[in-house]
Amino acid sequence: MSEVTATDLYEVTMALSYLREDKRAPATFDLFVRDLPPGRGFLVAAGLEPALDYLSRFRVGRGDVEEFAEALKRPVEDLAPLHGLSFDGQVRAVPEGRLVLAGEPLVEVTAPLPQAQLVETYLLSLLCHQTAVASKAARCVLAAGGRPLVDFSLRRTHGPEAGMQAARLCALVGFAGTSNVAAAHRYGIPAAGTMAHAYIETFASEEQAFRAFARSHPGPVTFLVDTYDTGRGVATAARVFKDLGLGPGCGVRLDSGDLGALARRARTALDDAGLGTVRIIASGGLDEYGVDRLVRDGAPIDVFAVGTKVGTAADAPYLDTAYKLVEYDDRPVMKLSSTKVSAPGRKQVFRGPGLRDVIGLADEEPPAGTEPLLRTVMRDGRRTGPPDDLAAARARFEADVAEVPDEARRIGQPVPPRPAVSARLAALTASVRRGIEERIREGDGRRGTAASRI
């Protein structure tokens, strides 16, 4: 499948019409989230790096034109104007790892109208999914209160590529590792893992299984102790650790049941055996809500492994993202549909301490004590600098999350800050609205006059 044809059909029909009507003037689109989903006090901007990769290599080839023609059931020659179309526009964006709020542009695309239109669907798909997962993972980091987290999501994500993205996004917000070997290699993330219950079941006893595993992996090992009876499993693991002289860096993993109660009993048993350095890892349906409960209850868990609910952003698996035209041929435009009004003009987000943000126009001076979030990351279809890295994105996330107000960072019923709107943007919005409404009234008047003559 070509990335170019991974788009909605109406992007193709509009782009073709634009070309035939010679509507090639620069167009600016904002990509933003209308409203935060319930259970979110903020979002983590993510997906920009793969989006820039996509735009850098975007070019409509002959094969793409043939696929478009097949989808439209039209001769290939009808779609010929699209052949060779590439992206040579400008992109301003919020860097990955920074926190964003409802209504704030994550990405602003300015390019000849057919180009800017044709890339819409792919950009929305990238930014929507990755921002949703990064935001879910970030809440797990807050819930863990400094305890390490490991990504176990690959087997439950919506396809292998989604699993790759989830591993990267979890690392971006501070996870310590991933079970995904390919992601560990691609992104330089520490790989982490233990064993499955199936491994234990192939041996005559847990002890045989643990000893065999330790023989194959002489470094620190983690034993899965709840295949049959967790209490006996912990005791067996402790005996094997002591017999083999294993200790620091090793662990036992709890994957089911009352994780808090089991962790307390396991900690007592390990400490009584003189194995105070053996860690307890907990997994099994965890997300920020489960982690938060365990931490608040004082469960002696050293590492949390989270998977399904985080890799799929289970409680908020999508974002109400939009990609709206805000300027065409130097003319600000806006949408007036009920509940989906979009503000006109090229914008900037000015961030103050405590996520006190102001959405203004791109050419405004930053209000005192604020910094602009949107940066120019692509010009003439080329990146303005080298690709970003996870360490830089993680540093931005850590700096921003430290500024999150208490009511927005809490796990239960967070209250997100609402960005303000600058006076200039408010005035432009009102002016453009008046102009549109006047044109509508004039059009209605002309139709009424014509009807009266019939």
Read off the pLDDT of residues 128-153 as tens digits, 9 standing for 90 and up: 999 999 999 999 999 999 999 999 99
Question: What contacts 44, CB < 8 A, 6 or more positions away?
Answer: 97, 98, 99, 100, 131, 134, 135, 137, 138, 172, 173, 397
pTM to 2 decimals? 0.94
Residue 257 and residue 230 in contact, taking contact as beta carbons nearer than 8 Å: yes
Closest CA to 113 of 21, 230, 211: 21
At 337, is the pLDDT very low, low, confident or very high (cuts 50, 70, 90)?
Answer: confident
100 has pLDDT over 80:
yes
**190-215 tens-digit pLDDT:** 999 999 999 999 999 999 999 999 99
CATH fold of 144-311, please? TIM Barrel (3.20.20)
- Measured CA to CA, the distance from residue 128 to residue 323 in angstroms comes to 11
**359-415 tens-digit pLDDT:** 999 999 999 999 999 999 999 999 999 999 999 999 999 999 999 999 999 999 999
At the top level of CATH, the class of 9-133+316-436 is: alpha beta
Beta bridge partners of 98: none
Task: Report the share of the chain in percent with pLDDT over 90.
Answer: 92
The CATH 3.20.140.10 domain(s) of the chain lie at 9-133+316-436
Residue tagged 């920009």 (tokens): 48
- Measured CA to CA, the distance from residue 78 to residue 231 in angstroms comes to 71
Q: Where are the alpha helices (DSSP H) in 181-246?
A: 181-187, 197-201, 206-216, 230-243
- Measured CA to CA, the distance from residue 126 to residue 1 in angstroms comes to 16
Mean pLDDT, the chain, whole residue set: 95
At 263, is the pLDDT very low, low, confident or very high (cuts 50, 70, 90)?
Answer: very high
- Measured CA to CA, the distance from residue 163 to residue 397 in angstroms comes to 21
306 has pLDDT over 60:
yes
Strand bridging mode 43-44 / 149-151: unpaired
- Measured CA to CA, the distance from residue 404 to residue 102 in angstroms comes to 15
63 has pLDDT over 80:
yes
The CATH 3.20.20.70 domain(s) of the chain lie at 144-311
Work out the average pLDDT over 220-244.
Answer: 97
Please tell me the predicted confidence (pLDDT) of residue 256: 93
> How many other β-carbons are positioned within 10 Å of the β-carbon of residue 330?
8
Work out the average pLDDT over 2-11.
Answer: 96
Please tell me the predicted confidence (pLDDT) of residue 450: 55
Please tell me the predicted confidence (pLDDT) of residue 81: 97
